[in-house]
Each structure stands twice: as C-alpha cells, then as structure tokens.
C-alpha cells in the first residue's frame, strides 16, 4: 500500500499532527478509540504543549497550512462540506489562505523560456521578476508585450505535479480507510469526494484549460455591465504559462477603499448574487473559486460598479437535470413550499425513494422557516447549512459530488454579500431571477426554441424515413422482426392479463346472478312472499358483484 516516498510523507504528516496537538483528536475517533489510552504513554505528552490555548479547529487549520498547498486546498474544499465536519472546524477551515512563499523570478524565467523554446526578451518587451502574487499552484508576474499591451504571466510552480500526485495518493488511502471502517463512509462517499478534488486540482495544472475557461466566461459576459473577464493571449499561452490582459481594480475585500470611492455597495452586493445565478442557471458554467482574492471592482463609475474576475482554474458545470432540480428547489424554498422541496429530493434520487414525504417536509420546515424575512446580517448561513446537512443525514441523503463546487461558490457569494451589504436580502434578490429562468425554460417560447433547435436534425433525417419504414415492413412481412420486452414490462403485462381475466370472471358471475334473480322473481309458479327475501338478496348481491368487478383491486 505504501511506497518509500509515501511512507516518508506519512511520517512527516504524523510529525506535523503531533506538533499541533492533533494526536488527541485522532485517537479520540471511532477507529482508534480502543487504543486511546496510548496517549498517556507517548513521550511527547509528558511535556507541556505549546499553543494549548487554541481551539481544535485552529490547530487543524495551522496543521494543514504546515502540510502544504495541496492540504490547504483540500481543507478549503472541506470547509464547504458541513455534512462531513463539525461547525467549529468547518468555520476555521474557511479561513485557510492559499498563500505560499514565491519561487525565484530567475526560476520563472527558465520555465518560460523552456516553454517557448526561445529567450524571454523575444516574447516580452518587459518582464517583472518580482511576482505580483504567489499561490500553491502558480505565481503571477507583470509583463508587457512588444505591441505595448500590459499583461500578466501565470507560471506553474516547478515539480508541482509530482507533489500533488504524492499527496492525492495519500488522500485516497485515508478515504478508502474511512469508507471501509467509518459507519458514515458509505453515505458520505469519501473516495468520490477525493476523486472530485483530484479532478479539480489536476485541471488547475493545465493553463491552456484555464485559458479556455476564461475565454468561455468572457464570451458569456461579453458587453455585460456587471462582470468583466480579461482577454486571453492565445499565441503566448502554453500548458504551464498563461498570458492574459492585465486589469486594474479595487480588491472586493477592500471595503474602506470602496467606501472612500463612494461605490454603491448595495448595488454591488446585489450584482454579485445576479452574477452567480446567471452563471449557474443561464450558462451552466460558473467561476467556482470566487473568493475575495479573485474578485476586483471597476469603480470608474461609483454609482454603476462592475466586477472583474481573475483565476479561472476551477470552473463548475451542471447537467440540465441538476439545473432544473436546483432551480425548482430554490423557488420552492422561496415560496416556503417545503413539501415540494421534499418531493424534489426524492424525485432527483438525492434521498431514498422510500423516504416519507411528510416527515421529510416537516424536518425541512423546521430548519428553513426561521431564516426567512430576516436580513443577511442576522442569518448564519453556515449554521443553516449545518442544520440542513444534519437533516439530510437523518434521512440518509447521499452526498452529491457534482454539487460540491456549487456549495463552495454559494458560500463565497454569501460571504461577499455580507461584507458589502449586511442588509442584503439574498432571497429577495434571487427569487425574480429564478422565476424568470423557469418561465423561460418551460414556457411556450422555450418549446418553440427547442423545436427550432431540432428542425435541422429532423430535416437531415427525413429523407431516410421511407427506407427505414420499408425495411421495418420487410422484416415484419418476412417474420424477422423480434419484439423484446424487458422483465419489468413483461411482469406488468402479466398483471394486466390477470386483472382482465378476473374482471371477466367477476362480470360473468354478476351477470349470472342478476339473470337468475330476474328469472326467479318472474316465475309465477311459486308464491311471491316465499321468495321475496332471498331473491332480493341475490339481486342486490349480483348488482354489488357487478360493480365490484370494475373497481376491486385484482393485483396478485
């Protein structure tokens, strides 16, 4: 299971955990509880601990920062998974900052020249060797092209892929152990969580992919008054070097500067919500790393501020089915239709089909009702999510890995809105957008659009229809046609046949009884009073059986 490199890394991880006093937490888990007494005999527990006044969440955060960028990013993702973590730890992990020391500018020059196979001066008229920013995957330098355009150059860290591969393999080992030995493992699907993280982190290593993401997002918001996406310079972009237009703006987290410029913070906060829902529901293509470090504000017109986005390494997409269910869920929440929310969860397969709708509805109402009609500053969205996930755990709701990025982005937007305008009504801002989207999705115009979309395909296939019909008739005429029915369909057919047979039998019995009763009542050779009671019983019984023949359940 472990190679030499992995074993060495695992020993280093254990040393970091011990240094931050996390061996207590590990030994207190369900898996290691039987040997928890060992904490008293471990030599490092005989000496006073440093940082003993820190909470467990703070110690975990510091340990992840010491373990390096991959664990920092994994911790950031876990901070959105309130179904996996206690609230205090999740809130601490949300503070993780993806900031690491830069590597030397000369090393960046070597990477760039190797990528271009030519000297740096051939590509750039000027290049700033002091990086503008440095993160776990890459760092960014300012430069100027020979045509005078100011650009930023993003350069991957040296050997970053090897480091990531090593740490992701360790995460898989931990996830497999959790899925095997943790009672919640099957429902929370930790292996799938790591797989989703692996896909995301390795996508970030391909800067051509990031450039394509930026280009698509720029196309989606072309001429938009609310979001600007910088231009990509494709001729200078490589797999490990990305060149983009340099933008100038105010960091969205610099509230003091935004206020000094008299920026309309209320409009800015509402536009943040609109940007999010537009990306998710109109385009199904959303910037999934919208923390304050990646968002700037163009304040040239303070009354009409515009967002500027950077860093497009993490992009989320949703299937049309997920889009539809999410939109309906949001709208049902906004209308406080908790029964519909419960039904949608069952229809989508997010909770087991045997879940009782009334119980699930009641649980959702208990969590959701207290948050409505209150300003954002009075709502703990983290607490709300925690309560929802606790409810989901009670009803065996399986984690949906494809929604992890959406949850993360929604939390980022909520935090951004809280910073800009604590009185922002998230629900009031989003509701009209979703109502318009649903109307556009299922209304008459949507039907016409779908017909118009499929007309070229139908026109292309129409000439083949006569040949297809002729071939079908030929097979039917020659007896070559084989009709295949699935087992479920066959069983349904058998039930229908049995039901029809039973109805026929009931009808025949009813008819016989009615006819017999009528004949006997009309028989003049017997005294009427003698037959009156039993014959009336036969007649009513026949009529009753005749009626029941059509309504009585006849399934086996």
User: Quick one: pLDDT band at residue 535, thresholds 50, 70, 90?
Assistant: very low
pLDDT in tens, 176-216: 776 776 666 666 677 877 887 787 788 888 999 999 999 99
Which residues are within 8 A (CB) of 358 and not within 5 positions of it... i.e. 6 or more apart?
339
- The CA–CA distances, whole Å, from 72 to 79, 408, 444 equal 11, 15, 48
> In 3-state terms, the chain is what percent helix, strand and coil (to 5)?
65, 10, 30
Spatial CA neighbour of 97 closest among 132, 53, 138, 62? 62
Cβ atoms of 72 and 136 closer than 8 Å: yes
Could you tell me which residues come within 8 angstroms of residue 50 by beta carbon, excluding any fewer than 6 positions away?
none
Res. 153: pLDDT tops 80: yes
Same domain, 493 and 460: no
Give tens-digit pLDDT for 400-430.
655 667 777 777 777 787 788 887 777 777 7
Residue 114 lies in a domain: no
Three-class SS of residue 552? coil
Between 474 and 313, where is the model more confident? 313
14 and 56 both lie in a single domain: yes
- What distances in angstroms separate CA 161 from CA 75, 167, 213, 445, 491, one per listed residue? 19, 10, 20, 48, 54
Least reliable range by pLDDT among 92-106, 157-171, 397-411, 507-521: 507-521
Predicted confidence at residue 324, as pLDDT, reads: 81
Which DSSP helix (H) or strand (E) runs through 266? Answer: helix 265-277
Instruction: Classify residue 434: in a domain, yes or no.
Output: no
Q: Is the model more confident about 99 or about 12?
A: 12
pLDDT for 108 beyond 80: yes
Assigned domain for 539 exists: yes
Model confidence at 293: pLDDT above 50: yes
- The span from the CA of 104 to the CA of 123, in Å, is 20
Residue 183 DSSP SS3: coil
Q: Which of 13-27, 303-317, 385-399 has the highest mean pLDDT?
A: 303-317
Query: How far is residue 49's CA from residue 47's CA, in Å, rounded to a whole number?
Result: 6
Q: Is the confidence at residue 266, as pLDDT, over 70?
A: yes
Higher pLDDT, 380 or 100: 100
Predicted confidence (pLDDT) at residue 556 exceeds the cutoff of 50? no
Asked if residue 534 is part of any domain, the answer here is: yes
Asked whether residue 243 is assigned to any structural domain, the reply reads no
16 and 41 in a common domain? yes
Q: Are residues 470 and 493 in the same domain?
A: no
* pTM score of the predicted model: 0.68
**255 neighbors 419 (Cβ within 8 angstroms):** yes
- Print the domain residue range for 471: 446-475
What is the pLDDT, as a whole number, of residue 353?
84
Cα 405 from chain centre = 5
207 domain-assigned? no
Residues 342-347: what's their mean pLDDT? 85
| Residue 471 shares a structural domain with residue 508 | no
Cβ neighbours around 176 below 10 Å, total: 15
* pLDDT tens digit sequence for 2-21: 566 667 776 777 777 777 77
Q: At what angle do helices 426-442 and 444-461 cross, to 10 degrees?
A: 40
493 within domain boundaries: yes
- pLDDT value, residue 491: 57
* Angle between helix 4-19 and 160-181 (nearest 10): 80
First to last CA, the chain: 53
pLDDT value, residue 285: 92
| Mean of per-residue pLDDT scores for the chain | 75
Pair (453, 499) in one structural domain? no
**Mind listing the pLDDT tens digit for each residue in 247-260?**
999 999 899 999 99
Query: Residues 462, 533: one domain?
Result: no
> Tokens 């009609």 appear where?
373
240 and 261 in contact (C-beta within 8 Å)?
no
pLDDT at 520: 45
Residues 506 and 461 in one domain: no
Greater confidence (491 vs 135) lies with 135
Highest average pLDDT, of 150-154, 158-162, 185-189, 288-292, comes from 150-154
Which of the two residues, 490 and 99, has the higher pLDDT score?
99
Name the 3-class secondary structure at 118. coil
Mean pLDDT to the nearest integer, 372-387:
61
Highest mean pLDDT out of 65-74, 236-245, 434-443, 463-472: 236-245
How many structural domains are present in the chain? Answer: 3
Work out the average pLDDT over 158-186. 76
Is the domain of 457 the same as that of 523? no
Round to whole Å and give the CA distance between 139 and 111.
12
- Non-local (6+) Cβ contacts of 209 within 8 A are 203
Domain boundary at 26, 61, 96, which? 96
> What proportion of the chain, given as a percentage, has pLDDT over 90?
23
Q: List the structure tokens of 516.
A: 């017999």
Given a cut of 90, whether residue 301 has pLDDT beyond it is yes
pLDDT of residue 456: 76
Cβ atoms of 160 and 205 closer than 8 Å = yes
Choice between 487 and 226, residue whose per-residue pLDDT is larger:
226
Same domain, residue pair 460 and 495: no
Cross-strand pairs, 156: 138
Q: What is the 3-state secondary structure (H, E, C) of 321-377?
A: HHHHHHHHHHHHHHCCCHHHHHHHHHHCCCCCCCCCHHHHHHHHHHHHHHHCCCCHH
Same-domain pairing of 464 and 493: no
For the annotated catalytic residues, the residue numbers are 289
Out of 92-96, 225-229, 325-329, pick the least confident. 92-96
Same-domain pairing of 464 and 546: no
């Amino acid at each position: 299971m472990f190679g030499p490199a992995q074993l060495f890394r695992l020993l280093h991880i254990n040393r970091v955990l011990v240094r931050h006093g996390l061996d207590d937490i590990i030994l207190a888990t369900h898996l290691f509880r039987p040997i928890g007494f060992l904490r008293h005999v471990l030599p490092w527990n005989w000496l006073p601990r440093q940082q003993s006044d820190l909470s467990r969440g703070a110690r975990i955060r510091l340990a992840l920062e010491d373990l390096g960028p991959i664990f920092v990013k994994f911790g950031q993702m876990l901070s959105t998974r309130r179904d996996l973590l206690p609230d205090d730890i999740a809130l601490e992990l949300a503070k993780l900052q993806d900031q690491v020391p830069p590597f030397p500018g000369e090393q960046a020059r070597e990477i760039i020249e190797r990528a271009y196979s030519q000297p740096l001066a051939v590509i750039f008229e000027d290049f700033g060797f002091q990086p503008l920013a440095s993160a776990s995957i890459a760092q960014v330098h300012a430069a100027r092209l020979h045509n005078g355009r100011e650009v930023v150059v993003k350069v991957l860290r040296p050997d970053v892929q090897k480091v990531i591969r090593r740490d992701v393999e360790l995460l898989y080992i931990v996830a497999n152990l959790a899925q095997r030995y943790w009672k919640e493992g099957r429902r929370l699907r930790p292996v799938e969580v790591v797989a989703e993280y692996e896909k995301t982190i390795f996508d970030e290593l391909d800067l051509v992919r990031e450039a394509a993401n930026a280009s698509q997002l720029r196309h989606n918001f072309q001429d938009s008054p609310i979001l600007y996406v910088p231009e990509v310079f494709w001729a200078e972009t490589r797999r490990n070097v990305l060149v983009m237009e340099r933008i100038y703006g105010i960091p969205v987290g610099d509230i003091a500067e935004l206020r000094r410029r008299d920026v309309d913070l209320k409009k800015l906060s509402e536009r943040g919500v609109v940007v999010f829902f537009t990306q998710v529901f109109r385009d199904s293509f959303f910037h999934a790393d919208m923390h304050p470090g990646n968002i700037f504000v163009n304040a040239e017109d303070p009354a009409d501020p515009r967002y500027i986005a950077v860093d497009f390494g993490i992009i989320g997409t949703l299937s049309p089915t997920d889009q539809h269910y999410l939109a309906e869920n949001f709208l049902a929440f906004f209308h406080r239709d908790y029964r519909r929310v419960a039904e949608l969860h069952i229809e989508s397969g997010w909770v087991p089909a045997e879940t009782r709708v009334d119980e699930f509805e009641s649980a959702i109402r208990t969590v959701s009702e207290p948050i409505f009609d209150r300003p954002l500053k009075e709502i703990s969205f983290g607490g709300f999510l925690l309560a929802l996930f606790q409810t989901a755990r009670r009803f065996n709701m399986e984690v949906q890995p494809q929604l992890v990025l959406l949850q993360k982005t929604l939390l980022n937007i909520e935090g951004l809105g809280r910073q800009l305008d604590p009185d922002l009504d998230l629900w009031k801002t989003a509701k009209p957008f979703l109502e318009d989207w649903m109307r556009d999705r299922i209304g008459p115009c949507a039907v016409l659009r779908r017909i118009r979309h499929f007309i070229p395909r139908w026109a292309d296939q129409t000439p083949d229809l006569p040949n297809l019909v002729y071939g079908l008739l030929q097979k039917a005429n020659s007896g070559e046609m084989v009709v295949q029915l699935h087992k479920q369909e066959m069983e349904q057919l058998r039930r229908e046949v049995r039901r029809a047979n039973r109805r026929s039998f009931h009808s025949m019995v009813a008819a016989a009884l009615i006819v017999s009763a009528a004949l006997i009542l009309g028989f003049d050779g017997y005294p009427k009073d003698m037959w009156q009671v039993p014959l009336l019983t036969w007649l009513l019984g026949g009529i009753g059986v005749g009626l029941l023949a059509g309504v009585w359940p006849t399934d086996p």
